[in-house]
């Protein structure tokens, strides 16, 4: 069945009320019956919830074949916890048919790829999917299609009971012996536990994995003891120096700086750029650089930002330290500067991904955004964006908060080079749709700028400010003229991943790529 | 059917799995499937959730005959919100068959008594029940028996789906236009919203009622916008000067001071009185005075309290200010000094009643208590305590956190005069059991002290410290010798209230008192 963005969704996935994507605010005003976990009662006081091993904790929480386990990814490329836990469950305890529900998956979890190949892990639910895991899933080795959700789609699915977590394993940089735990303090502090803190509210069991036990009570905390079954102390939960990746550093590339400057100029040309505006940007080079140029406009106009949202880098923290930002709402930290800043500043707040972006609660923070600046792997002439599959059709990305902030914000700007290597970034039809085009307002490339025709109000703003723009078709034509028209990818029938829209409808599917033959 | 504390529970109340009380930790280790509300989705951004009247908010939330509405009682005797809202529902909208689920009911809500008499309010679920409401319920005018629960029993019942809240009306001293709200700031600040903040997590709809609208975002907050449907701004949510009642003032009665000194001496004689101990006391005169005497022992021994818990008065705040308390965990404030202290001290933490005392979560704060000092209306020779019915059998009290802290703490001390007026406080059989005797360890009266024979370890501590004690029978005999043996109350068959144990089993019932005839 064709959905609203013209993707063919196989009927086999449209069961149990699952629907195809039907537009931007399809579930607004509807009612949702929330899922409820089945949790263990600790009526009698216990001196300590500490278990001597991950295995003991798994056994206490009833780990068995077929369970769904969850993890957060705040330690990013430095995470050890997911590998440690799955190794115990699969190699030590001999369990199988495991489903992993993670906020993201990447190079730190290569072991998961092995377990997929061995058929021990049969389901993946995630936002990001990168590295070897992306390759084995793309090769069709996972027993069931991976389910890709946005950061807001994940808590929605959990609250709807579409993901039922048997055991949530929460990496925490500090915990007390009752399970009051967080990502600040300790030897591998990672800052916000915004990705993780929603899971223990809906999981049947929760295990805290920490490398730094602190005296009771470890408060304020991100995960509260009233939702924790067991605490396990390990040598290292990860290596927090690997939180910052090279992509998350400030760029000195002149093309990226030029794009960033254009984005800031566009923001300053809209009516939303006024005292108390709200803003989110990604952690990629050009997105980061926007903050720098925006500062100039803010000082010139004499205005402050009320709220910065999302994953947080040191550059937005510095803006707060200069008195230019009132509040930072933080779901994850992209560098250790931001980690430290969260711990020390009362107006730098940790929020859960449900507060951040869940489309099914009563108003997530993304709904209060004036501006979001986002990147794209590809964007097509309908403004549909792909941030999950590479130009070779292999899974190597993450929707993250992209679809959520794009839908919630008043002005969503995509910043991306016109081409990457030999590939056109602006194209006729993206490989996979992860954010629908009606959520995207403006595209800034290193060539020219395009405005979504749905936003004539923004067209007028740019015209008034003398900011030139062209049609997105012109950008696509220019890209094709530079690197050639891309050949269509060849797919097999088998669906390896389902891309859910943030509201739970099916936005797209990713099929197995046909091996290249001469 | 007779329960574990020898009370006859009528079979008619033992339906749908409801059981009679069977002992202190009956539900420990069991599993509970939690209830899930049905909530409205706010996917599309809204500029403001403000409604122009309580009526508009009620209509938006689908108010109709037969609904259950909830309120918190942090404004205590100064609350206007419950009366305002019920008046709109019943008089303006003409609704009937309303059930009120409140954390407490008292003189501020006399209007509720009228609606009970008119048959418009047909159900009451509460901890406290005082004033005219207690009288009309005791007179059998409420259509269904009132259900009396402890502070921990309330969130347990809500999470178990035994109370299903259609609309939670939350008095907030400040809110922004999205519903981020709390009890600090504003013109009627009442401090902790610990009693209220759990309801919006389980209610189908939540309405914030405030008299002080503040700029977005009002953070950190007690109730988060993601759980709020509507915000209503009224002239006054109450009169916060009425939070402090005369009972909550420091005593200068020599008998009360003597009892308080004895309590402090007992505490100091136990092995739990050491660096980092935890403590809760009530807000009554003698309980408050304990804090003063305890300070001397702490200074003498050179130790600090790690955690003070519960309803908070200025006297415990002053102890923190002197550096003698590390953390205060606060469910409600008994005076404006404590309200101010909560707003200004990062180690003075607001907690919900679920975190505080819920026996069905994974370990409430009461489980970490070393000592709790509590009062009683009556205590019998089995150490069963009554804090709900007067000696005339009329409802005029509140279990509050009494049963929860008594069960969770290592040492529970009751402090009460041997007689009150012409009535024996220590008696053969309390009118109503609200806290079972096996949760009570020591009784301190203005005559002598008694230790529960179940606690031979504490008997030894007192003997070693040279603190004299007698049997509780001796206390009862002395009381009877002073004021005479009380005549039995005469009851009708009709049950007017059910007293639930904190675990949801039935501890006792209160029947209609037989009118006195000459």
| CB–CB contact B28 A49 (8 Å) | no
Q: Which residues of A touch B31 (CB under 8 A)?
A: 38-41
Domains and CATH numbers, chain A: 49-241 (3.40.1080.10), 246-489 (3.40.1080.10)
CA torsion sign, A360 to A365 to A366 to A369?
Answer: positive
Q: What is the pLDDT along chain A (518 residues), one digit of tens a residue?
A: 999 999 999 999 999 899 999 999 999 999 999 999 999 999 999 999 999 999 999 999 999 999 999 999 999 999 999 999 999 999 999 999 999 999 999 999 999 999 999 999 999 999 999 999 999 999 999 999 999 999 999 999 999 999 999 999 999 999 999 999 999 999 999 999 999 999 999 999 999 999 999 999 999 999 999 999 999 999 999 999 999 876 666 778 899 999 999 999 999 999 999 999 999 998 777 888 899 999 999 999 999 999 999 999 999 999 999 999 999 999 999 999 999 999 999 999 999 999 999 999 999 999 999 999 999 999 999 999 999 999 899 999 999 999 999 999 999 999 999 999 999 999 999 999 999 999 999 999 999 999 999 999 999 999 999 999 999 999 999 999 999 999 989 999 999 999 999 999 999 999 999 877 66
Contact A34 B38 (CB under 8 A): yes
List of residues 6+ apart from B516 with CB closer than 8 A: none
pLDDT of B518 reads: 61
Cβ atoms of B342 and B382 within 8 Å: the answer is no
Place of tokens 């990457």: A420
Average pLDDT, chain B: 96
Query: Residue B285: its pLDDT value, please?
Result: 75
Q: Given CB atoms, is B307 within the 8 Å cutoff of chain A?
A: yes
Q: Which of residues 151-190 of A touch B (CB under 8 A)?
A: 178-179
Report, as an integer, the average pLDDT of B347-373. 98
Residue from B35, B363, B367 whose CB has the most chain A CBs within 10 Å, to mutate: B363
- Chain B touched by A244 (CB under 8 Å): no
Distance CA B242, CA B333 (A): 12
CA-CA distance, A467 to B45, in Å (whole number)?
28
Following DSSP, what letter does each residue of A209-254 receive, concatenated? EES-B-PSP--S-SB-GGG-SEEEE-S-SB-GGGSS-GGGSPP--H
Residues of B in contact with A227 (CB under 8 A): 361-362
Quote the tokens at residue B484: 């005479």
Question: Contacts of residue B410 in chain A, CB cutoff 8 Å?
Answer: 45
What the block records as the tokens of B275 is: 């660096």
Contact A95, A86 (CB under 8 A): no
| Cβ–Cβ contact A23 with B under 8 A | no
Confidence of residue B251 (pLDDT cuts 50, 70, 90): confident
Structure tokens given for A338: 């931001």
> Which of A217, A363, A503 comes nearest B42 by C-beta?
A363
pLDDT of A518: 61
Which residue among A29, A41, A228 sits closest to B30, beta carbon to beta carbon?
Answer: A41
Alpha helix locations (H) across B74-210?
81-87, 110-117, 131-138, 153-159, 199-202
Minimal CA separation from B473 to chain A, in Å: 29
| Cα-based angle A188, A190, A195 (whole degrees, multiple of 5) | 135
Q: What is the reported pLDDT for A249?
A: 67
* Cα separation, A128 vs B39, whole angstroms: 29
Segment B455-462 mean pLDDT:
98
Name the burial class of residue B179, with classes exposed (0-12), middle (13-18) and buried (19+) by CB atoms within 10 angstroms of its CB.
Answer: buried
Subunit contact B327:A217, Cβ cutoff 8 A? yes
Mean pLDDT of B95-113: 96
CB A474 within 8 A of CB A424: no
Instruction: State the pLDDT at residue A162.
Output: 97
Which of A244, A217, A447 has its CA nearest to residue A336?
A244
- pLDDT (0 to 100) of residue A252: 85
The closest alpha carbon to A99, from A150, A158, A137, A146, belongs to: A146
Position B329 scores a pLDDT of 98
Q: Rounded CA gap, B76 and B196, in Å?
A: 12
- Mutation target to probe the A interface, by most A beta carbons within 10 A, among B46, B176, B362, B366 is B362
Q: How many CB atoms lie within 10 A of CB B517?
A: 5
To the nearest whole Å, the CA of A177 is away from the closest chain B CA by: 11
Residues of B within 8 A of A216 (CB-CB) are 306, 368
Angle at B166 between CA B160 and CA B172, to 5 degrees: 100
Give the pLDDT confidence score for residue B517 in this predicted structure.
66
A197, A356 Cβ separation under 8 angstroms: no
Task: State residue B247's pLDDT score.
Answer: 63
pLDDT score for B483? 96
C-alpha B479 chain-centroid distance: 28
Which of B35, B42, B367 faces A45 most closely, judged by CB atoms?
A: B367
What are the two backbone dihedrals, phi and then psi, of residue B158, each rounded to the nearest 5 degrees? -65, -45
Exposure string of B143-169, with b = 16+ CB inside 10 Å and e = fewer, is eebbbbbbbbbbbbbbbeebbbbbbbb
For residue A27, give the nearest of A501, A403, A514, A517 by alpha carbon: A501
What's the pLDDT at B248? 62
Alpha-carbon gap, residue B359 to B195, rounded angstroms: 16
Report how far residue A251's alpha carbon sits from residue A235's, in angstroms, rounded to the nearest whole number: 35
Q: Which of residues 194-223 of A touch B (CB under 8 A)?
A: 206, 215-217, 219-220
C-beta of residue B320 within 8 angstroms of C-beta of residue B298: no
CA nearest to B439 within chain A: A44
The pLDDT tens digits of the residues spanning B129-184 come to 999 999 999 999 999 999 999 999 999 999 999 999 999 999 999 999 999 999 99
A184 and A175 Cβ atoms separated by less than 8 Å? no
Verify whether the Cβ–Cβ distance B41 to A359 is below 8 Å: yes
Inter-chain residue contact A349 with B219, CB threshold 8 Å? yes
pLDDT digits (tens, 9 = 90+) for B264-283: 999 999 999 999 999 999 87
10 Å CB burial of residue B454 (0-12, 13-18, 19+) is middle
Phi, then psi, of B108 in degrees rounded to 5: -65, -15
Q: Could you tell me where the DSSP H helices lie in B240-335?
A: 254-269, 285-301, 314-321
**Cβ atoms of residues B354 and B407 within 8 Å:** no
Q: How far is CA B202 from the centre of its chain?
A: 19
Q: Which residue of B has its CA nearest to A326?
A: B217
Indicate the residue of A43, A226, A329 with minimum beta-carbon distance to B355: A226
Of B426, B419, B445, B398, the C-alpha closest to B245 is: B398
Cis ω on the peptide bond leading into residue B217 (within 30° of 0)? yes
Q: Tokens at residue A294, please?
A: 């925006």
B344, pLDDT greater than 80:
yes
Predicted pLDDT of residue A24 = 93
Residue A503's SS3 state is coil
Q: Tell me the backbone φ, ψ of residue A340, rounded to 5 degrees.
A: -65, -40
Residues of A in contact with B360 (CB under 8 A): 41, 43
User: Taken in order A344, A348, A349, A351, is the CA torsion positive or negative?
Assistant: negative
For residue A366, count other CB atoms closer than 10 A to its CB.
29
């Amino acid at each position: 069945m064709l959905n609203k963005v013209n993707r063919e969704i196989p009927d086999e996935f449209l069961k149990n009320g699952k629907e195809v994507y039907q537009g931007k605010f399809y579930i607004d005003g509807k009612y949702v019956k929330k899922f409820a976990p089945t949790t263990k009662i600790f009526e009698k006081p216990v001196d300590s919830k500490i278990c001597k091993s991950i295995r003991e904790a798994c056994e206490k929480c009833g780990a068995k074949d077929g369970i769904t386990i969850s993890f957060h990814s705040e330690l990013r490329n430095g995470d050890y916890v997911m590998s440690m836990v799955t190794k115990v469950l699969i190699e030590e305890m001999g369990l199988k048919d495991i489903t992993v529900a993670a906020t993201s998956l990447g190079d730190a979890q290569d072991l998961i790829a092995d377990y997929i190949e061995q058929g021990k892990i049969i389901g993946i639910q995630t936002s990001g999917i990168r590295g070897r895991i992306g390759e084995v899933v793309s090769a069709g080795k996972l027993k069931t299609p991976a389910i890709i959700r946005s950061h807001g789609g994940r808590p929605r699915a959990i609250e709807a009971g579409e993901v039922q977590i048997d055991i949530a394993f929460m990496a925490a940089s500090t915990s007390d012996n009752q399970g009051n735990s967080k990502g600040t303090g300790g030897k591998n502090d990672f800052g916000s536990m915004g990705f993780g803190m929603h899971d223990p509210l809906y999981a049947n069991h929760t295990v805290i994995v920490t490398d730094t036990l602190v005296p009771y009570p470890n408060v304020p905390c991100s995960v509260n003891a009233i939702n924790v079954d067991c605490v396990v102390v390990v040598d290292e939960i990860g290596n927090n120096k690997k939180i910052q990746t090279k992509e998350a550093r400030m760029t000195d590339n002149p093309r990226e700086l030029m794009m960033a400057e254009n984005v800031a100029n566009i923001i300053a040309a809209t009516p939303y750029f006024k005292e108390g505006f709200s803003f989110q940007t990604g952690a990629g080079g050009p997105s980061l650089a926007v903050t720098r140029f925006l500062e100039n406009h803010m000082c010139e106009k004499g205005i402050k930002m009320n709220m910065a949202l999302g994953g947080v880098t040191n550059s937005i923290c510095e803006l707060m330290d200069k008195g230019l930002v009132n509040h930072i709402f933080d779901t994850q930290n992209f560098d250790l500067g931001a980690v430290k800043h969260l711990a020390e500043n009362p107006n730098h707040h940790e929020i859960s991904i449900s507060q951040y972006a869940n489309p099914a609660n009563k108003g997530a923070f993304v709904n209060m955004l004036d501006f979001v600046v986002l990147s794209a792997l590809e964007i097509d002439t309908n403004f549909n964006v792909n941030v999950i599959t590479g130009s070779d059709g292999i899974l190597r990305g993450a929707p993250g908060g992209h679809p959520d902030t794009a839908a919630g914000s008043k002005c969503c700007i995509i910043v991306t080079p016109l081409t990457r290597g030999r590939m056109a970034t602006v194209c006729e039809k993206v490989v996979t749709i992860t954010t629908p085009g009606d959520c995207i307002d403006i595209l800034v490339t290193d060539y020219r700028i395009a405005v979504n025709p749905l936003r004539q109000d923004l067209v007028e703003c740019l015209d008034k400010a003398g900011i030139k723009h062209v049609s997105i078709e012109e950008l696509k034509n220019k890209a094709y003229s530079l690197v050639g028209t891309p050949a269509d990818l060849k797919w097999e029938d088998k669906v390896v991943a389902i891309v859910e829209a943030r509201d739970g409808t099916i936005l797209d599917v990713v099929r197995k790529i046909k091996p290249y033959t001469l």
